[in-house]
Structure 1
Amino acid sequence: MSHTHAQPVQTIDQRTLRDAFGAFPSGVVAVAASVKGQLTGIAASSFTSVSIEPALVSFSISTTSSTWPLLREADRLGISVLADHHDAVCRQLAGPREERFGGLPFRVTENGAVLLDEAVATYDCSIHDEVVAGDHVIVLLEVHGVGAGGGEHPLVFHRSAFAKLHRDDLDPSRLDGRINGAEVDRGDDATADARPDAEDAA
C-alpha cells in the first residue's frame, strides 16, 4: 500500500512532539545480556507485544545509542518488565555501564540472556529483525521463553516521570470484546463461552 501526501508535511515543534509522546503512559523494561562475559543492558519504555504466533515482541532504540551496538551481538536478549518498586533500577540502568547491574538480583541463562529476579514478567529472546525508523531502530524480537518474577505490578512511565497503577475507581472485570483487532483473552473459563462468529469491531 502506498501513501501519497497532497500537501507538504507540516513541521512539528520537537518539544511539543515530545510532550505529546509523553502523554501516552507505558511500561518500562530492562533489555540485558551477557556479551563476551560482560553484562550489558539498557532501560526502554517502547516495549510492546507484536504477535502470538509466532511469538514476537519489539522495542525501539535511538540510533545514537552507544550500548545497542554491543547488546545486539548477544545470542539472546533478556527482557524484564520492571516492577513498580524499580524506579531506582531504571535510573541505574541509565547510568554508567559498569555500574548498571551492581546490587541487582538477576540470573543469566545458558545463552546469555540476563533476567531480573523481581521483574513482573521476563522474556528470553533473539533478534528477529531490525528496521531503521527515523532517529530510532525498531528491534523485533522472537520470544523463546517467558517467565514471571517476584514483582506484582509494573512500573509506569508517564510525562517523563515514574508512576504506579491506580485501579481503585475502575471496573475490575475483564474486557469482553476486541482490542488491536483481535479478541481479548479472558482466561480459560471464558474461552468456552467465546463467540467464534463475532464480528471484528476494531
Structure 2
Amino acid sequence: MKSSPSTPALDPRTLRDAFGAFPSGVVAVAASVKGQLTGIAASSFTSVSIDPPLVSFSISTTSSTWPLLREADHLGISVLADHHDAVCRQLAGPREERFAGLPFRVTENGSVLLDEAVATYDCSVHQEVVAGDHLIVLLAVHEVGGGGGEHPLVFHRSGFAKLHRDDLDPARLDGRINGAEVGSRESSHESKEDAA
C-alpha cells in the first residue's frame, strides 16, 4: 500500500528499529560455486511449508554475493548456534575470508553446511519474489540434518542474544500457530486417529 499525500512517509530509522524489535534466528546460506566457497548470514530465515517442504530468506537487491550464490545447484542453510556470533560477523566480512577456520562440509550437490550448526538444510532455489528493496527467496528443502549446536543464536535490536528459558513455562505448545496444529508427535498422531 502506497502512502497518500496526506500520509507522511515512515522514517527509515524508526522503521528499522521497529523491525529490530522482533527477535529472529540467524542462518548461514552457503554453497561451493564453481569451486569457490560463497556465503552470507541472514536473519530473515523462516519455515514456509511442510508439503511441499519450503523455507525462505530475504536478501537486499543490492547484494553483490547473491548473483554468484544463486548460480549454485544447491544451497546449504545452517542455523547458527549461540556461540556463532563471531561466525556471523565473519560471514559479513571479506568474501575470501568468510570460511577461514570454520568447520564445515561440502555436500556432493555443493551445499556448504557448518558442523556446529543447530540444524542444517540442503536446498535449491524454488522461486524469487521481488519485494521492495529485497528479494524473498523461496527454497525447496531436499534434506535436513543436525549439528553440534544446541541453542540458536538470536538477533534482536541489531545485536546478538541467547535464549533464556529459566522463567518460561517448559510445557510444549499444544494448540495452533501459523494456522496449523503444533504439539508433541503423540498428540498429533492421536488427533489424526480421532479425525479418521
Which bracket does the TM-score occupy, shorter chain normalised?
Answer: over 0.9
Taking the TM superposition and a 5 Å limit, the aligned residue runs for 1:85-96 are 85-96=83-94
2:188 to 170, 187, 191: 191
The residue that corresponds to 2:50 in the other structure is 52
The residue that corresponds to 2:180 in the other structure is 182
Distance in 2, Cα, partners of 1:141 & 1:154: 21
Distance in 2, Cα, partners of 1:78 & 1:9: 42
The residue that corresponds to 2:16 in the other structure is 18
Deviation at 1:196, TM superposition (A): 7.6
The residue that corresponds to 2:156 in the other structure is 158
Distance in 2, Cα, partners of 1:46 & 1:102: 24
Deviation at 1:22, TM superposition (A): 0.2
Tell whether the 8 Å contact from 2:3 to 2:9 is kept in structure 1 after alignment. Answer: no
Deviation at 1:9, TM superposition (A): 5.1
Question: 1:146-198: per-residue Cα shift (whole Å, max 9, x none)?
Answer: 000000000000000000001000000011110111111x2322224337889
Structure 1 residues not aligned, in runs of 5+: none
Structure 2 residues not aligned, in runs of 5+: none
2:60 to 59, 62, 67: 62
Question: 1:66-125: per-residue Cα shift (whole Å, max 9, x none)?
Answer: 000000000000000000000000000000000000000000000100000000000000
> TM-score, normalised to structure 1's length?
0.92
Q: Which amino acid aligns with 2:179?
A: G
* Coordinate RMSD, CA, aligned: 1.9
Question: 1:10-53: per-residue Cα shift (whole Å, max 9, x none)?
Answer: 41000000000000000000000000000000000000000000
> TM-score, normalised to structure 2's length?
0.94
Distance in 2, Cα, partners of 1:140 & 1:48: 10
Deviation at 1:6, TM superposition (A): 8.3
Distance in 1, Cα, partners of 2:109 & 2:6: 48
Question: 1:117-150: per-residue Cα shift (whole Å, max 9, x none)?
Answer: 0000000000000001000000000000000000
The residue that corresponds to 1:149 in the other structure is 147
Distance in 1, Cα, partners of 2:101 & 2:3: 52
Q: Which amino acid aligns with 1:187?
A: S
Distance in 2, Cα, partners of 1:6 & 1:134: 17
Taking the TM superposition and a 5 Å limit, the aligned residue runs for 1:90-169 are 90-169=88-167
Distance 1:197 1:13, change over 3 A: farther
Distance in 2, Cα, partners of 1:7 & 1:125: 43
Distance 1:18 1:4, change over 3 A: closer
Tell whether the 8 Å contact from 2:172 to 2:184 is kept in structure 1 after alignment. Answer: no
